[in-house]
Amino acid sequence: MIKAYTETIVKARLHLVHFRPQTLAAYRERCCVCELRERPLLDAAHIVPDRLPEGAPTIRNGRPMCATHHRAYDQEILLVTENYRVEVRGDGLVRGDSDATRRTLRDFHGRSLWLLREEGLRPDAELLRKKIELAA
């Protein structure tokens, strides 16, 4: 096998520079779904995507998620209701009956999101509703 490479131009989202460190710090560096506390595996996940006008890089439009839960959220397999409940949609799961799928996704269905005490910094319910509308 011959390895091949090319150079590309990448558009950096400079407005997101502070989003990850601020979001992770506010939540004391834990996934808001499974409470994993391994900083290298945590992302600051937007509720409403950055590409939409409502997708501001603010704590109220974000929360830390581990890589698996962030991907599941972006793929709309895992959603969060306006009451901060985790909702796992089984129709997007290829192997929804495996032990790994149960442990990493299905077991969190119906659970509460790990939230900040400061209500003013919690995920914006309106943005959570918007995300669910986008997933419909």
Please give the residue ranges that form the binding site for Zn ion (CB under 5 A): 31, 33-34, 36, 66, 69
State in angstroms the smallest separation of the CB of 1 from Zn ion: 35
Output the smallest distance, CB 69 to Zn ion, in A: 4
Q: How far is the CB of 40 from Zn ion (least distance, A)?
A: 13
Q: Cα 10 to the chain's mean position, in Å?
A: 23
CB nearer Zn ion, residue 37 or residue 129: 37
Phi-psi label, residue 28: left if phi above 0, alpha if psi -120 to 50, beta otherwise: left
Q: Looking at beta carbons only, is 17 or 75 nearer to Zn ion? A: 75
Structure tokens at 10: 């990448």
What is residue 72's three-state secondary structure?
helix
Nearer to Zn ion, 96 or 126 (CB): 96
Euclidean distance between CA atoms 43 and 24, whole angstroms = 8
